[in-house]
Amino acid sequence: MVKIVGIGGSLRPNSYTQVALLLAVQRVEALGAEVEIIDLRQLQLPFCTGAKEYPEYPDVLRLQDTVSRADGLILATPEYHGSVSGVLKNALDLMSFEQLSDKVTGLISVLGGQSNSNALNDLRLIVRWVHGWVIPEQIAIGQAWGAFSPEGKLLDEKLSQRFDQFAQSLVDNTRKLRGVD
């Protein structure tokens, strides 16, 4: 079975990024994948210093071990000042090639303004640098304050279809590239 780990790069309560991540996770699970979400709001992670180990922060090892066991990833980030959030970048920096290489990865960005691809492009560079595989389907949700119903449902049918395509591509490509049923 395909095992996917989702990581959301927002610490804000009621985060649109977390809502988008949950929508993607539901669709990936509906395709038969096993998914675990790492909620960075629940972890005590230090700023990355480049150290090999962080023994005083057991959540670093928990993060690394969880990602190591995954076949693929969903990385979701709010776009802050034209790029990936610092909290997601820091979490990725606390890992190495050992955890991230060969992972098939789907990318989601959430913006308050107009949709663009800045954060997605930055994440694509990061994942490629650690020898990961990024699927071509990606999701950028502009004006996120108007994209969801109060229950967390997508209001735009085309965006909903993009989530379906994203999930299908992530599961199919993870199966192919990782050799998992």
Instruction: Supply the mean pLDDT for the chain.
Output: 96
Predicted confidence (pLDDT) per residue in 46-79, tens digit: 999 999 999 999 999 999 999 999 999 999 999 9
> What integer pLDDT is reported at residue 54 of this predicted model?
96
> What integer pLDDT is reported at residue 73 of this predicted model?
98
> What integer pLDDT is reported at residue 55 of this predicted model?
96
> What integer pLDDT is reported at residue 97 of this predicted model?
96
Q: Which domains are assigned to the chain? A: 3-178 (3.40.50.360)
Predicted confidence (pLDDT) per residue in 117-169, tens digit: 999 999 999 999 999 999 999 999 999 999 999 999 999 999 999 999 999 99
Whether pLDDT at 105 is above 90: yes
> What integer pLDDT is reported at residue 46 of this predicted model?
98
> What integer pLDDT is reported at residue 123 of this predicted model?
98
Beta strands per DSSP E along the chain: 3-8, 34-39, 72-78, 104-110, 133-141
Whether pLDDT at 116 is above 90: no
Cα 165 to Cα 63, 102, 157, 173: the distances in Å are 28, 21, 12, 12
- One-letter amino acid identity for 39? D
Whether pLDDT at 45 is above 90: yes
SS3 138: strand
Is the CB of residue 103 less than 8 Å from the CB of residue 66?
no
The model's confidence at residue 114, banded by pLDDT at 50, 70 and 90, is: confident
> What integer pLDDT is reported at residue 113 of this predicted model?
86
In the chain, what percentage of residues exceed pLDDT 70?
100
